A and B are shown apart, each in its own frame.
Chain A
Amino acid sequence: MLISTLGTICVLVLFLLSVATVALGVVGAARRSERLIEGSVQGIHGILGVAVLASMLLEYAFLSGDTSIQYVHHNSHPAMPVVYKITAFWGSLDGSLLFWVLLLSLFASLAVRANRQRHRVLIPHAVAILATIIGFFAALLVFMNNPFEPWLLPDMAPTQPKGLNPLLQNPYMVCHPPSLYLGMVSLAVPYAFGMAALITGHVDEAWQRSVRRWTLFAWLFLAIGLVLGGLWAYEELGWGGYWAWDPVENAGLLPWLTCTAFLHSIMVQERRGMLKVWNLVLVIISFFLTIFGTFLTRSGVVQSVHAFGEDPALAWTFGGFMAVILVGSFGLLFWRRRLLRSRHELESVLSREFAFLLNNWMFLICALFVAGATMYPTITQWSGLLAEKYDWYREVMFALGIYDESAWATALLEGKAMPWSRVTIGPAFFNHYMTPLGLGLLLLTGIGPLVAWRKTSTASLREQFIAPLGAGVVALLIAAFGIPLVRMDGEFEVLSGWGLTAFGLCGFTFWTLVQEFYRGVAVRRKNRPQSVLDALIGLVVRARRRYGGYIVHLGIVLMFFGWAGNAYKLERKLGIYPGEIVALGDYQIEYVGARATQDWQKDMITVELSVSRDGAKSGDLEPAKWWYYQLPDQPTTEVSRLMRPGGDVYASIADVDMSTGWTRLNLYYNPLVNWVWVGFATLLAGGIVCIGSKREEAEGGG
């Protein structure tokens, strides 16, 4: 049997099985029939089996080069290294949907297995919800995007396969999408258990205990995916930065923000029995945002100039699914609102509950802002299309003053483009608003651990805050006076308000963490005499959640330290001839020469630059441009950078004239940028400490 036929059958079985599982779960829960419930549980495990088989079939098709399948033909090339053949599985739309189904069914199966006995009442409902989500994606595979779609006629089998875009043949790109998928997909588990808790009315902390680690897991993988994506952009795209608020990047950031909020607010419910509704709202929103993110990246809505995206049918289907999620979830929440009353009230503004609440609000505002700004261009475009099509809509917009009637009249007369085109929003807009929000969050990162639950007395407040505040002021002063001393170039502005604030807050937050660790160690040593190192290790091991959380905070501080350096970034774009020397901050960069080489895959032009500082040579840079034979009209930019703790000297080339050697160079000095990666590694370590082992779970830190 042909692989395509077998695969299509698999996908069909997958869909039917998930429908059957939903039915079994729902009927089993309604009739309280153990037999049907067990059937639905086995159904979830069976779905995993079918999904694994379908994925293996697609992998086999890739590895054996079965180009009779359209998807394989579009994304594979015989000369591609094996690892890229394997990852080509999720390289494009259809396969990534199958990958999504695979991960989702894996997580569903694991989560159901782990909680089968612990939360018996929740299980059939959680199974039904998970199977519904799987069923939705399976339906997409069956009816719209079958990755096993063969060519219509056997001899239409193409001559030359296209292969994966060379830009994506990069180690970061091997890890980046799967880790984002892992993060996004695993958020379905908390959602399913949250909804099951709402349906059954068992809205105590039990459901949260079973999902806390899933959320942490999702959060960690989203972070890994985001940072790897940033690193990829930094090293491959050559524009000197790592984050440009691209809609697809934002799609990963949104659930990360709400996940972070949830991980904080869940502690308030654990400790104080408050924010029950809020936690459910966050779980719903996080899950919704993962679907929304998939919608953004898959349907082409955000980049496309077409009416409803490159794939209008897919966009509409996703739109419908998202509407069902929102209406269904919030409907349930409304139905169960009486059960979700808080046990306690907020007692004081100077309490950790309030700090957490504030933190949650800020994360949610960030998420809403990013979502709004990402969608705004699309909304303006849709609105413009509506205005062109429907007179009444245009009249309403004229009446509201959103569209200018006279501009429309002139455009109509002169036959020009309509005055309601797509509005584009650049990174500067995002940065303008996200910088203060981010710094506010950094401030809260510092304040949170210092205030006590319920109420903080003034005396304790003074005792807790004096040292960190001092550290913050010292950091601010060092930055204010130190940076101009270090960087004695007259041509650029060396003081930046936001940069200084960021340094100050980094100092403040860093010191709160030091203080927390110091006091913890002191208490441990008082209770039982031991060495400082022992006490420190004991501290982290005994209270994983709390001190793991602090390590994550430390990572965040380091990342902000790196971002603060961004305020002092230098950027020069210039055309130079060989032998010329240009200055970039304190560095002198000499253009030594250019050379053209080639290998079996590509033509390369490499520019040699020699970097020195104060007369001493620091190193060489060799930015290049590569033309793959496979895609000759899309040259790739190969960045070269000199990594230093103080910052990167970063060079890429835009244009080279090989006859004269004239080169258009992009030079950047990115101060402190490597601290972002160091901070991320710290964050990762903290996250792993938090997840810990099963034994250490939930000792109620905070």
Chain B
Amino acid sequence: MVEATQSPVVANARPRALIAIAIGSVALGLFLVVVLRARLDIATVALVLVGLSLVGCLRGLHRVVGALAKGALDTVVETESEYGGVSERELREERRRLLRAINELRFDHEMGKLSQVDYDSVRAGYELRALEVMRALDAGETLHPELAARLAQAAAAEAAAPVPSDLLPADAATSVPEAASASRACASCDGGNDPDAKFCKHCGKELAA
């Protein structure tokens, strides 16, 4: 049920810390058992887990205090960079959901469960919503300029840190060019479209190949 909502940087940092802890504890355990000939019974394992959870617990408490100690703007920047990019992903999700719903509806209609009138009216509603979502996706950045600047600063600072670029999810890498090069003009309405679009998202006409 965990849904990936962290930004690339955090999403990478967290597993790495976890992996480091896991490898470290396994190595420590091997060292104890092999070199020091310790008897590793279940209670000891439990004690180690207690220690780890103590660390986790203290970290959690520290974060609570940290969140309260920060200035309001810093908090906004941080939550935005930690959970940011979600709104766009959400919109895509919504677009996919709506398209599926329309598909589903057509299926129902073909199975003879919906009359033509109902089909048309419900479908029109879905299409309107899908259009709205696509427009929102097209509009791109909606951040406050200062926030955007701060986020860019934070991103630059992160980029200076050695994060291998191949670890960044494709999502983050593709979102920028997509927003920048939304420039495939439609012949009939002059609306801009994604480079790989087959139909115009403004008027629905088929785009020339």
Taking Cβ atoms with an 8 Å cutoff, the residues of A that contact B are 10, 13, 17, 20, 24, 33-36, 38-39, 41-43, 45-50, 52-53, 56-57, 59-60, 63-65, 82, 110, 113-114, 116-118, 213-214, 217, 452-455, 457, 460, 463, 519-520, 523, 526-527, 542-543, 546, 694-695, 697-701
Contact = CB atoms under 8 A, between A and B. Distances in A.
Contacts of B75: 34-35, 38
A523 B107 contact: yes
A700 B64 contact: no
Interface of B: 1-3, 5, 42-43, 46-47, 49-50, 53-54, 56-61, 63-64, 66-68, 70-72, 75-76, 78-79, 83-84, 86-87, 90, 93, 96-97, 100-101, 103-105, 107-108, 110-115, 118
A613 to B, nearest CB: 46
B60 A114 contact: no
Contacts of B93: 697
B3 to A, nearest CB: 4
B79 A213 contact: no
B104 A46 contact: no
Contacts of B68: 24, 35-36, 39
B72 A49 contact: no
Contact of A453 (B61, B87, B118): B118
A113 B63 CA distance: 15
30 contacts: A10-B57, A17-B61, A24-B68, A34-B79, A39-B67, A42-B63, A46-B60, A47-B60, A49-B56, A50-B57, A50-B60, A53-B53, A53-B57, A56-B49, A57-B50, A60-B50, A63-B46, A65-B43, A110-B1, A113-B5, A114-B1, A114-B5, A116-B79, A452-B114, A527-B110, A543-B104, A546-B104, A695-B96, A700-B101, A700-B105
A42 B60 contact: yes
B113 A452 contact: yes
| Of B60, B76, B107, B110, most A-chain CB atoms within 10 Å | B60
B116 to A, nearest CB: 11
A543 B67 contact: no
Contacts of A118: 86, 90
Nearest to A64: B43
A182 B83 CA distance: 27
Nearest to B56: A49
Given A214-B1, A453-B114, A60 B101 contact: no
A43 B111 CA distance: 51
Given A38-B67, A114-B2, 16 more contacts: A34-B72, A35-B67, A35-B71, A36-B68, A38-B75, A49-B60, A52-B53, A59-B49, A64-B47, A113-B5, A453-B113, A453-B118, A460-B113, A519-B111, A520-B111, A543-B104
A455 B115 contact: yes
A116 B72 contact: no
A698 B72 contact: no
B64 A117 contact: no
Given A52-B57, A59-B46, A699 B83 contact: no
Contact of B43 (A43, A49, A63): A63
Contacts of A52: 53, 56-57
Contacts of B107: 520, 523, 543
Contact of B3 (A13, A56, A114): A114
B34 to A, nearest CB: 23
Contact of B111 (A213, A453, A523): A523
A116 B83 contact: yes
B144 to A, nearest CB: 13
A522 to B, nearest CB: 8
- Tell me which of A42, A64, A542 has the highest count of chain B C-beta atoms within 10 A of its own C-beta: A42
B118 A454 contact: yes
A543 B108 CA distance: 11
- Ranked nearest first, the 7 interchain pairs of A and B with the lowest CB-CB distance are A49-B60, A46-B60, A699-B100, A49-B57, A700-B101, A64-B43, A117-B86
A23 to B, nearest CB: 11
A460 B86 CA distance: 44
Given A46-B60, A453-B114, A698-B97, A53 B50 contact: yes
A214 B2 CA distance: 11
A64 B60 contact: no
Given A38-B75, A46-B60, A523-B107, A117 B87 contact: yes
B98 to A, nearest CB: 9
Contacts of B42: 63, 82
